[in-house]
């Protein structure tokens, strides 16, 4: 069985909030609603597009509207990474882990289609043995089966895997699947969400922490 590092996407590998923020403001702007700040949108990310849509509509006193959800999923700028980029140092970390014999995978609550297009447009698509999106399986994070199914698709098992994420949902999914989790300090979730998981202050810390958790 291959040893696998499973990464969360938004807020862990990619600084995608600027595109999500702009898209949210386009969707609500078309309805005459007031825009959100980047930090407000960052705090809404982590539970997938449906919950994000619920949150930004509720914040403006509006009921859930499927059309807003669909506009966000179809947003071309999110898919083509207009403002989105990997966090500084991430590409080097992926290479370092591969050189150490780790296989890489992505487990994200973002829908699989946009996640794949986003990674492809950044030239990263080919690096992951599996990409499990929020709509790829019957459940999504924090349910551990989302992580288990993604890991299995990558050819891994929990005993030789590590999860890396920026949200309570990542920590909970990993705990449920019996996989150690590293919480990243550069993402969108506050450090309190780490819930005792080791914290990486910067991407360059990841290879060392992974080696400590799975010597």
Task: Check binding of 84 to ligand PGA (CB under 6 A).
Answer: no
Task: Check binding of 111 to Mg ion (CB under 5 A).
Answer: no
Shorter beta-carbon distance to ligand PGA: residue 103 or 166: 166
Alpha helices in 5-154 (DSSP H): 17-29, 38-42, 49-58, 66-74, 76-80, 90-99, 112-121, 144-153
Longest dimension (CA), the chain: 54
Shorter beta-carbon distance to Mg ion: residue 125 or 186: 186
What gap in Å lies between CA 211 and CA 197, rounded to an integer? 15
Q: Residue 163 — φ and ψ, nearest 5°?
A: -105, 145
Q: Which does 203 bind (CB under 5 to 8 A by kind): Mg ion, ligand PGA, none?
A: none
Q: Least distance from C-beta 101 to Mg ion, angstroms?
A: 26
Task: Check binding of 19 to ligand PGA (CB under 6 A).
Answer: no
Shorter beta-carbon distance to ligand PGA: residue 84 or 209: 84
Q: Residue 126 — φ and ψ, nearest 5°?
A: -70, -5
Q: Which does 109 bind (CB under 5 to 8 A by kind): ligand PGA, Mg ion, none?
A: ligand PGA
Q: Which residues are catalytic?
A: 8
């Amino acid at each position: 069985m291959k040893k696998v590092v499973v990464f969360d996407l938004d807020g862990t590998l990619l600084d995608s909030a600027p595109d999500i923020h702009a898209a949210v403001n386009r969707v609500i702007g078309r309805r005459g609603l007031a825009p959100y700040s980047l930090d407000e949108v960052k705090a809404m990310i982590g539970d997938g597009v449906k919950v994000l849509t619920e949150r930004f509509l509720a914040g403006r006193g509006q009921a859930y509207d499927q059309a807003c959800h669909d506009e966000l999923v179809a947003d071309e700028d999110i898919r083509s990474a207009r403002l989105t980029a990997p966090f500084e140092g991430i590409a080097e970390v992926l290479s370092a882990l591969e050189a150490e014999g780790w296989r890489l995978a992505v487990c994200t609550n973002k829908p699989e289609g946009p996640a794949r297009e986003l990674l492809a447009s950044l030239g990263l698509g080919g690096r992951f043995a599996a990409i499990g999106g929020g709509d790829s399986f019957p459940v999504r994070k924090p349910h551990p089966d989302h992580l288990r199914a993604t890991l299995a698709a990558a050819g891994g098992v929990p005993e030789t895997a590590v999860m890396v994420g920026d949200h309570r949902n990542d920590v909970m999914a990993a705990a449920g699947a019996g996989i150690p989790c590293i919480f990243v300090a550069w993402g969108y979730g506050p450090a309190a969400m780490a819930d005792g998981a080791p914290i990486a202050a910067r991407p360059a810390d990841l290879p060392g922490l992974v080696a400590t958790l799975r010597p």
